[in-house]
A = this chain, B = another copy of it.
Amino acid sequence: MMQELPEKILIVDDEPDIIEFINYNLKSKGYLTETASNGVEAIRKAKTFQPDLILLDMMMPEKDGLQTLRELRVMPDFEKTPVIFLTAMRDEKSEITGLQTGADDYITKPIKPELLATRVNAVLRRMKKDREVEEKMILGDLIINKTKYSVTYKGVDIILAKKEFELLSLLASKPGRVFLRNEILQRVWGSEVIVGDRTIDVHIRKIRQKAGVDFITTVKGVGYKFEME
């Protein structure tokens, strides 16, 4: 039987007392925790901490829980990270919007330790099952494993550098769909970084070269797409 790693939980709330309370409870249950007191901090911490689950207060100054969740859901890393909303009292309205926006559960304050633990457990277990299936992208003879950062073609390893891997993953995430050069830049390099257009070509070339076969089709004047022949 394999040893299970403790799961990482990010706790976001603007009230220090609540953070303290939740933090204590979850830590004593063996979880690895990190905290944030507003939406902006939450997003920053999420990037470095890479939590397995996020507990997110709905009512916060500046950026509220809903808005924070929306922004997180756009980022590939947190597209599927489970989120449990913390809401003040039975507020039917926000419950519905919360679940619609892509939260996985919600807990009403005041928070009861047992309930918290149960919900956290349930959501994490559910997620773990999904993960196992989702971690591998299988595209014919090509297998891309995001957690292993590995690519194999017909069982043979293809060793790609970071940018190459991310580029291929992006294209392969929607086979057949054309990604505009702009979009590729945004998603692989980020919005701040500015690199020339040729850079993409060069990376594409390296992937084609290393793979030996060509899954990437150039759509002139538009972009690139992944396609098995």
A201 at the interface (CB under 8 A from B): no
Q: Residues of A at under 8 Å CB distance from B?
A: 1-3, 5-6, 8, 29-30, 32-34, 48-50, 70-71, 74-76, 114, 117-118, 121, 130, 133-134, 137, 145-150, 161-162, 169-170, 173-174, 176-178, 180, 182-183, 186-187, 191, 219-222, 225
Residues of B within 8 A of A5 (CB): 170, 173-174, 187
Q: From DSSP, what is the main secondary structure of chain A's interface residues?
A: mixed
Contact call A134/B3, Cβ cutoff below 8 A: yes
Contact call A186/B74, Cβ cutoff below 8 A: no
A114-B71, A148-B177 given as contacts; is B186 within 8 A of A49 (CB)?
yes
A29-B74, A29-B76, A71-B114 given as contacts; is B149 within 8 A of A182 (CB)?
no
Q: Distance in Å from the Cβ of A19 to the closest Cβ of chain B?
A: 14
Residues of B within 8 A of A75 (CB): 29
A34-B191, A70-B118 given as contacts; is B225 within 8 A of A148 (CB)?
yes
> Which of B48, B76, B145, B191 is within 8 Å of A182, CB to CB?
B48
Q: Distance in Å from the Cβ of A46 to the closest Cβ of chain B?
A: 12
Q: Distance in Å from the Cβ of A146 to the closest Cβ of chain B?
A: 7
Q: Distance in Å from the Cβ of A126 to the closest Cβ of chain B?
A: 12
Contact call A147/B177, Cβ cutoff below 8 A: yes
Assembly CA distance A36 to B182 (angstroms) = 17
Assembly CA distance A183 to B187 (angstroms) = 23
A32-B191, A74-B29 given as contacts; is B225 within 8 A of A173 (CB)?
no
Residue contacts A-B, CB under 8 angstroms, 19 given? A3-B137, A5-B170, A5-B187, A29-B74, A29-B75, A32-B186, A32-B191, A34-B191, A48-B182, A49-B182, A49-B191, A50-B182, A74-B118, A74-B121, A147-B176, A147-B177, A149-B225, A162-B220, A162-B222
